[in-house]
């Protein structure tokens, strides 16, 4: 069974009297364990698409199924649970809690999937170490560089070990070597844990890490 199935997806935003059609009759499927890159110009709707897949925003029309969950059929409580347990988000602007340390930010992100306190801490530390931040566990975001904050956000999403990772420019603020390390880490998780990745990026050098690349243009996804 496909992990993601999108059919006839429309998404419009209305501001005042102006309606902007962002996604138009968009179709997409992804299999479990696939790593897919989404490219496209600024404003074409990449973040919008990720938000819809993660249940953060609602379609204007059409259906989205993720891991057997038909998102429009879920109650807001079920949708909340879906977001907290099934999906890992790496946001374009990180969304870290400014008053919490790196370790606490990651722990907060995975509390819905791990109950045991000791296990929770170990899992958070493991992933912060994997992204190269074992010496910054107790720093709050403003004590971290942009790239370090991005890596905390990556650790927070991956540590959940969810079925689906939605990553919005995950390596945008990292140098080339660090970016490639992160892509390799994601590849490893894709293989070992059969996690599915949807990665938005403007960097075509990252194509070599993914199974396929799709372009979002005029509201639709097309293969490259
Ligand atoms: N909440 C909103 N209300 C109104 N318009 C919105 C809203 N969110 C996004 N848009 C519009 O939808 C379009 C797509 O935005 P989106 O953020 O998905 O683009 P993007 O492809 O992620 O761009 P970028 O590469 O710059 O991040 C833009 O024209 C944007 O202005
Ligand atoms: Mg965006």
pLDDT at 211 over 90: yes
For 119, 146, 204, the CA distances from 49, given in Å and listed in that order, are 33, 24, 20
**What is the predicted pLDDT for the residue at 152?**
97
CA 174 – CA 181 distance, rounded (Å): 10
The per-residue pLDDT for range 15-63, each reduced to its tens digit, is 999 999 999 999 999 999 999 999 999 999 999 999 999 999 999 999 9
Q: How confident is the model at residue 224 (pLDDT cuts 50, 70, 90)?
A: confident
Provide the 3-class DSSP secondary structure of residue 55: coil
Mean pLDDT throughout 78-86? 95
* Three-class SS of 74-132: CCHHHHHHHHHHCEEEECCCCCCCCCCCHHHHHHHHHCCCCCCHHHHHHHHHHHHHHCC
Least Cα distance to 153 among 200, 105, 188 occurs for 105
Cα(181)–Cα(143) distance, integer angstroms: 23
Q: In whole angstroms, give the CA distance from residue 48 to residue 222.
A: 17
Provide mean pLDDT across the span 176-181: 92
Region of 162 (left: φ > 0; alpha: ψ -120 to 50; beta: rest) is beta
Distances (CA, A) of 10 to 98, 115, 179, 219: 35, 38, 33, 8
pLDDT digits (tens, 9 = 90+) for 127-159: 999 999 999 999 999 999 999 999 999 999 999
Ligand 1 binding pocket includes 52 (Cβ within 6 Å) = no
User: Which protein residue has the closest C-alpha to ligand 1 atom 7?
Assistant: 13
Proximal ligand: closest to the CA of 219: 1
Of 14, 17, 20, 43, best ligand 1 pocket probe by most atoms within 8 Å of the beta carbon: 43
For helices 117-130 and 146-159, angle between their N-to-C axes, nearest 10 degrees? 130
As a whole-number percent, the residues of the chain with pLDDT over 90 amount to: 98
Per-residue pLDDT at 16: 93
Cβ 9 vs Cβ 23: under 8 Å: yes
The mean predicted confidence, pLDDT, of the chain is 96
Residue 90: per-residue pLDDT: 95
pLDDT for residue 209: 96
40 C-alpha to center of ligand 1: Å? 12
What's the pLDDT score for residue 74? 96
pLDDT band at 117 (very low <50, low <70, confident <90, very high): very high
Averaged pLDDT for residues 54-77: 96
State which ligand 1 atom lies nearest to the alpha carbon of 92.
27
**Per-residue tokens: 120:** 């929770």
Which phi and psi (to 5°) does residue 112 adopt? -75, -20
Going by pLDDT thresholds of 50, 70 and 90, the confidence category of residue 1 is: confident
């Amino acid at each position: 069974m496909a992990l993601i199935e999108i059919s006839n997806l429309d998404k419009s935003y209305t501001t005042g009297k102006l309606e902007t059609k962002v996604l138009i009759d968009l179709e997409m499927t992804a299999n479990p364990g696939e790593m897919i890159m989404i490219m496209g110009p600024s404003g074409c709707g990449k973040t919008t698409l990720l938000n819809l897949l993660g249940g953060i925003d609602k379609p204007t029309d059409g259906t989205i199924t993720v891991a057997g969950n038909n998102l429009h059929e879920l109650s807001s409580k079920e949708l909340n649970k879906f977001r907290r347990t099934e999906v890992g988000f790496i946001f374009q602007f990180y969304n870290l809690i400014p008053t919490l340390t790196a370790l606490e930010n990651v722990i907060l992100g995975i509390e819905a999937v791990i109950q045991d306190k000791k296990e929770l801490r170990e899992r958070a530390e493991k992933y912060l170490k994997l992204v190269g931040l074992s010496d910054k566990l107790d720093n709050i975001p403003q004590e971290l560089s942009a790239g370090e904050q991005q890596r905390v956000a990556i650790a927070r999403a991956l540590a959940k070990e969810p079925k689906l990772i939605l990553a919005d420019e995950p390596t945008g603020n990292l140098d080339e070597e660090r970016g490639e390390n992160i892509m390799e880490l994601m590849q490893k998780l894709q293989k070992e844990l059969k996690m599915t990745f949807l990665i938005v990026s403007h960097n075509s050098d990252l194509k070599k890490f993914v199974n396929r690349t799709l372009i979002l243009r005029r509201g639709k996804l097309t293969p490259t």
